[in-house]
Amino acid sequence: MANRIQKVNNKGQALVEFAFSIIVLMIFVFGIFEVGRLFHMKIVLANSAREAVRFLIRHTDDFFLPISPLVAYDLTKKAALDEANNYGINITTADIVADCGGCEVGDRAIVTITMEIDIGIVSNLFGIITMEETAIMRVP
């Protein structure tokens, strides 16, 4: 009789152990997904910065003849926004800084995108994460 009661308790023990281990496993799996999303955002920000700086250096001749540098920088920011939005990442023009000095041949064009990310488990553990990507190219 004592063996029979002990067997029933073992089944309950296995169920409790499974419940605890499945919680840990699910946190681990969702953590992997969150880290994957962070890598995706980092890659999209890098591509957006590259696309914006490429747009800036390829259109320097177009910009400074008929329009002001501020309008040129706004168009550059729009190029970065479009690239990020193509991949589902929402950034604002306030997150983007574009500069190319005088935009003369040989000058450096720089675009920096900064984004604060607040996502699920990662943000709960580590707080809001700030990502920054900078792209630099020379004006041809």
Dump the DSSP string for 51-73: HHHHHHHHTHHHHHTTS-HHHHH
pLDDT of residue 15: 85
User: pLDDT tens across 97-128, in order?
Assistant: 998 877 788 889 999 999 998 877 667 777 88
Residue reference for tokens 């064009």: 109
- Predicted pLDDT of residue 22: 96
Contact predicate 96/80, CB 8 Å: yes
Domain count of the fold of the chain: 1
Residue 24 per-residue DSSP state = H
What's the confidence (pLDDT) of residue 84?
94
Task: Report pLDDT for 127.
Answer: 85
Using only C-alpha atoms, the chain has a radius of gyration, in whole angstroms, of 25
Render pLDDT for 2-43 as a digit per residue (tens, 0 to 9): 555 555 556 678 888 899 999 999 989 988 988 898 899 999
Q: Quick one: pLDDT at residue 35?
A: 85
Range of the domain at 8: 2-138
* Angle separating helix axes 2-58 and 69-86, nearest 10 degrees: 150
